A and B are shown apart, each in its own frame.
Chain A
């Protein structure tokens, strides 16, 4: 019963990732694609949690934190690039 529910959850996460991948492919503007990529990162965090429950191991729990931090930093970097054209700005007066 529990294993069936966890497997169904994995299938649904795969479905959600596939739909977000469609949005990445057909997205008309760059922010659409970045929103969909951010969502895929969040889905991947959940998938790692479910897989570590299924395999009954604690070895993957760091991966959750690392993936969340990487998804956040990449989204912030991309949005700064879209907004200003540079991710890290130079100092002018020196």
Chain B
């Protein structure tokens, strides 16, 4: 196995690990109890999945066709910048719409800000 074969194998392995990470993220989105933990699972691990996959595709194009794709690099940068922002926006919208947390939540530091000062939380 020569050098370019090894590099090709590493790039395909990056794509495979990225797809496994997508499956892990999907399992997290189906198993977690409330919307905030689901957003935690979906945002971080699917961002990592798409970063690994696009890096693998970039490496494969570079090795096979000796073509440096600026579009894939821009896609990596764009996903890396915007996925946390969209996760933050959707979690904040859910919190302001008073979507219920799970029953095992013990701490909600913004409860007074949202519901008015000094009100006891019902459990």
Q: Using Cβ atoms and an 8 Å threshold, which residues of chain B touch A31? A: 35, 39, 90-91, 93-94, 97, 99
Q: Using Cβ atoms and an 8 Å threshold, which residues of chain B touch A8? A: 16, 19
Q: Using Cβ atoms and an 8 Å threshold, which residues of chain A touch B72? A: 49, 61, 64
| Contact code string A63-84 (vs B, CB < 8 Å = 1, else 0) | 0110011011001101110110
| Contact code string B1-26 (vs A, CB < 8 Å = 1, else 0) | 00000001100110110111011011
Q: Given A31-B99, A35-B35, A42-B79, are A1 and B9 neighbors across the interface (CB < 8 Å)?
A: yes
Q: Using Cβ atoms and an 8 Å threshold, which residues of chain A touch B71? A: 61-62, 64-65
Chain B contacts with A in 40-77, Cβ cutoff 8 A = 42, 46-47, 49-50, 53-54, 56-57, 60-61, 64-65, 67, 69, 71-72, 74-75
A9: contacting residue among B15, B29, B90, B91, CB under 8 A: B15
Asked if A23 and B30 sit within 8 Å, CB to CB, the answer is: yes
Q: Using Cβ atoms and an 8 Å threshold, which residues of chain B touch A82? A: 90, 93-94, 97
Asked if B29 and A15 sit within 8 Å, CB to CB, the answer is: no
Does B106 sit at the interface, judged by CB under 8 A?
no
How many of chain B's residues have a CB under 8 angstroms from any CB in A?
54
Q: Given A35-B39, A49-B53, are A42 and B47 neighbors across the interface (CB < 8 Å)?
A: yes
B29: contacting residue among A23, A61, A76, CB under 8 A: A23
Q: Using Cβ atoms and an 8 Å threshold, which residues of chain B touch A86? A: none
Asked if A36 and B42 sit within 8 Å, CB to CB, the answer is: yes
- Beyond contacts A34-B90, A39-B42, A69-B78: 4 other A-B pairs, Cβ-Cβ < 8 A, are A29-B35, A35-B38, A42-B83, A53-B56
Give chain A's interface residues, CB within 8 Å of chain B: 1-2, 5-6, 8-10, 12-13, 15-17, 19-20, 22-23, 29-32, 34-36, 38-39, 42-43, 45-46, 49-50, 52-53, 56, 58, 61-62, 64-65, 68-69, 71-72, 75-76, 78-80, 82-83
